Structure 1
Amino acid sequence: MSDSTLSPPPSQLDQAAFVAAYGEIYEHSPWVAELAWEQGLGPAHDSPAGLAEAMSAVLTGAPAERQLDVIRAHPDLAGKAAIAGELTDDSTREQAGAGLDQCLPEEMARFERLNAAYKAKFGFPFVMAVKGSDRYAILDAFETRLENTPAEERRTAVAQINRIARFRLEARANTRQ
């Protein structure tokens, strides 16, 4: 529900409180929230859609190396961190929602092979907003995106991360209503 209001309302927070509340929307990258706050937040940013737009503009406009830092902060899908229970709460929910915690051994082996091939080609993990997808669609996307150039894939990963952020903001708004 993009017309709901976030709580606490971003426009009413000082920078420290805003970063404390929203700094983990972008995986281990609170600088995105810091810069979004510095650019100014008004009442239009109190909705998930409004805040997502402001924060995604920060990441999209960041230099490539900073974008790569955010991409690299994401875990592998169905990877070792998931198996070991070392994901953030958001990532755990997102991966479980796509059924990645229910992979058969041959599917896990395929994820491991694709994760390795992807990282070898691009130097960062495969990132996909998995909400609404299942493991089969994710594996297909892996195969397709391995054909991208590094620049195309960086842009695709940033767009996917911005989708993840919007989903996370919507989930927070929906759980507080």
Structure 2
Amino acid sequence: MDEVHFTQALGDIFEHTPAIAQKAWPQRPFATVEALHQAMVTVMQALPTEDQLRLIRAHPDLGTKAKMADSSVQEQAGVGLDRLSPEEFATFSELNQAYRDRFHFPFIVAVKEHTKTSILAAFRQRLTHDAATERQTALAEIAKIAGYRLGALVQD
């Protein structure tokens, strides 16, 4: 596989940020999927703060009806965020807005590790963080999400 195909195949592992796959390419060969994931996470962590914030902001709000990447749609549907009651939708909308108002980026969580109830608890708990802590938490969650996406796409 050449660099162009590698970047095309893995470009959306990190939400709409193919530059991460492109920057990981020179580190090949990757002995395992985990080694590939770690190389990509290292690239993400080394991005300048503004690029990290762009990556964070590329993620959709949880439980929203807005257009989002297919992988995000599937991940959110897996925990029922596509089937919220009107009350649940209102709660998610309020928390999404409070979180955006506080941190200026969307709340990000690896939904595969959660239920609707635990996501709401995480929202409330993380709203108490300072901005620097929450940026690092968001990046850690993005790394988890990317690991799940990569594992679903690539076999050892």
What TM-score, normalized by structure 2, do the two folds share? Answer: 0.95
Give how far 1:134 is off: 1.1
Aligned mates of 2:124, 2:107 — CA distance in 1: 11
Aligned residues: CA RMSD:
1.3
TM alignment of 1:65-84, pairs within 5 A = 65-81=50-66
Q: Which residue of 1 aligns with 2:75?
A: 94
Give how far 1:89 is off: 1.2
Which structure 1 segments of 5+ residues have no match? 1-12
Contact 2:14 2:20 in 1 (8 A): yes
Q: Paired residue for 1:135, among 88, 106, 116? A: 116
Q: Paired residue for 2:146, among 147, 156, 165? A: 165
TM alignment of 1:1-177, pairs within 5 A = 13-38=1-26, 40-44=27-31, 47-81=32-66, 86-173=67-154
Runs of 4+ more than 6 Å apart: none
What SS is found at the alignment partner of 1:101?
coil
Counterpart of 2:132 in structure 1: which amino acid?
A
Aligned mates of 2:68, 2:89 — CA distance in 1: 17
Give how far 1:173 is off: 3.0
Aligned residues: 156
Aligned mates of 2:107, 2:13 — CA distance in 1: 18
Give how far 1:88 is off: 1.2
Counterpart of 2:130 in structure 1: which amino acid?
T
The superposition leaves residues 35-93 of structure 1 with CA deviations (integer Å, 9 ceiling, x where unpaired) of: 1113x21142xx32111101000111111111000000000001131xxxx22111011
Counterpart of 1:73 in structure 2: which amino acid?
A
Aligned mates of 2:63, 2:18 — CA distance in 1: 24
Give how far 1:102 is off: 1.9
Counterpart of 2:54 in structure 1: which amino acid?
D
What SS is found at the alignment partner of 1:125?
coil
Counterpart of 1:51 in structure 2: which amino acid?
L
Which structure has the higher relative contact order (CA within 8 Å, separation 6+)?
Answer: 1
The superposition leaves residues 103-152 of structure 1 with CA deviations (integer Å, 9 ceiling, x where unpaired) of: 11111100000000000000000011100311111011000000010000
Contact 1:98 1:132 in 2 (8 A): no
Change (3 A) 1:155 1:122: same
Contact 2:63 2:89 in 1 (8 A): yes
Counterpart of 1:42 in structure 2: which amino acid?
P
